[in-house]
Chain A
């Protein structure tokens, strides 16, 4: 039972008090033999007892007054139980009297001094691979060849660090992510920037955390040592076993990169133990064997975590994942998610990071006004210091919101936030998954529909299916191992 707000047309009924009750927006799911509600838009998760579930079932059949509910449920529950359940369901806004107008959420924009949490620094726009599907160089590129430098200079990197520390406001921790192109092509500037950010952070009483994404081709002992010593979080872009990796992740001459990166990754995993190392897999129509990829990357290579994302591309491309592929992908995600649950029940780690990330959001009860933090708590910086919504837009003038030298253009930022608020995504207004999806990735939307403002309608079924899977896992864990959920509050540990 998933309930969208029913038509809000006129409904005859007695005055409030004895008014008929109707269901409001929520998603019902079952887990561990019990019934749960995911409330929309608040994103609260409640477990129902029998009377409260019976009330919802009775209201699903027809709108009823409290007296009618008492009558229809009298063989199973006393009047007190029914009234009590109705009162609590009303309090959490799962039901409402039909003569009460549905309250509408007015768009509430974040405050102007919203702190920057993460800055993604595109230290180079050059890459030594030529992955066919790449959004930066491939057929769907949005940033044209321009006069921008291909490498970020030390000076711009320092200015970026100053920008980040200043924009982080009262936050005690700032996150700096190095990105590319191939990040390690500009290792010299990386090294200096990290040292500079450490020093400046210390001077300003802030901690700076570092991470980077790399294709692993340029890892060498000196770099691995530096990553480990400086506790730099590393994400490796890799698509799986050799046949998967070499389909798209190729050098300019078309040669696959698997054989080059494998020994380097093994060395990295052996030496760099100060932060968990994750693999990030791009799924395409030709590379959808999620289980096989996961086994290879975790069990055979030894990654701590693996995250999967479907390729961002226009729909007509050969590697685009269409409906059938999405179903296949989701079926395997479900299989891995079930494995993840079995591990979590035993308080053990499982490296399928997609499920962990979604569960964390469910646990916190996030109800998003925006699909992600781009242009708000997260910004991308191009090689010349231009600030864009996120790293995927770095260098695109159309999506710029300032420069590290001149600061954020507040008018542009405000205009962006106003335009992209979930309240303006009409298509999302009756979707129960909107607290967690909120229309999805701007870059994906731009690639598919030509505008960042469009919700990613091609993913709707998949997002709802995936959210439902994760809610059920969450419900199971809440019953079978509630201790595990404390990990999301930063408490406790799991066994490897």
Chain B
């Protein structure tokens, strides 16, 4: 490396690793102990949320305007203007929900369902199934 000088032992290992051809090929979830992330840089094998794919058109966060959460029709009565469900809906529906079929009901039955999920984008794996 020309611009970055490795100082500690781990940095030395990272340099050796990158100069050895970057990421090793690895199976899904296989840990790359050097850089501390799974070796699946392209994310081909991971589960992704709908809006996490290739960047494209702007996708609004939150629900459509007329019905809340209202995923059936948009304000014109059609479906073209609907947003797609996003992780944040977990909270919208879970907290103060009047559409209890989608996610566990925080008010009555599952007060702690998202306790380990401060940021849905990061922590959705921590959300578990609920069997009432």
Which residues on A are within 8 Å of B, measured CB to CB?
A: 5, 7-13, 15, 36-37, 39, 41-49, 51-52, 81, 84-85, 88-89, 91-93, 98-101, 103-106, 108, 362-367, 423-424, 426-427, 429-430, 435, 474-475, 478, 489
Contact = CB atoms under 8 A, between A and B. Distances in A.
B106 interface: no
A91 B8 contact: no
Interface in B1-29: 1-11, 13-15, 18, 22, 29
Nearest to A367: B36
B35 interface: yes
B61 to A, nearest CB: 7
B9 A93 contact: no
Contacts of B29: 106
Interface residues of B, number: 46
A92 B46 CA distance: 22
Given A12-B58, A426-B116, A36 B36 contact: no
Given A91-B22, A104-B122, A429-B123, A8 B52 contact: yes
Nearest to A363: B8
A15 B29 CA distance: 26
B3 A11 contact: no
A474 B1 contact: no
A108 B30 CA distance: 9
B118 interface: yes
Nearest to B60: A10
B11 A44 contact: yes
Contacts of B55: 10-13, 98-99
B38 interface: yes
A474 B59 CA distance: 45
Contacts of A362: 8
A478 B7 contact: yes
Contacts of B56: 10, 12
A430 B54 CA distance: 24
B36 A48 contact: no
A100 B119 CA distance: 19
Contacts of B41: 100, 103
A46 B58 contact: no
Contact of B8 (A41, A45, A52): A45
A51 B125 CA distance: 39
Nearest to B1: A88
B51 A9 contact: yes
Given A92-B4, A362-B8, A364-B9, A10 B126 contact: no
A101 B52 contact: yes
A430 B37 CA distance: 15
B58 A47 contact: no
Given A43-B8, A46-B5, A426-B118, 4 more contacts: A8-B121, A10-B59, A44-B10, A103-B41
B4 A105 contact: no
Contacts of B66: none
29 contacts: A8-B122, A9-B51, A10-B51, A10-B52, A10-B58, A12-B57, A15-B54, A44-B6, A45-B6, A45-B10, A46-B7, A48-B4, A81-B3, A84-B2, A84-B3, A88-B3, A89-B3, A99-B54, A99-B55, A103-B38, A104-B37, A365-B8, A365-B10, A366-B10, A367-B36, A423-B125, A429-B122, A430-B119, A475-B7
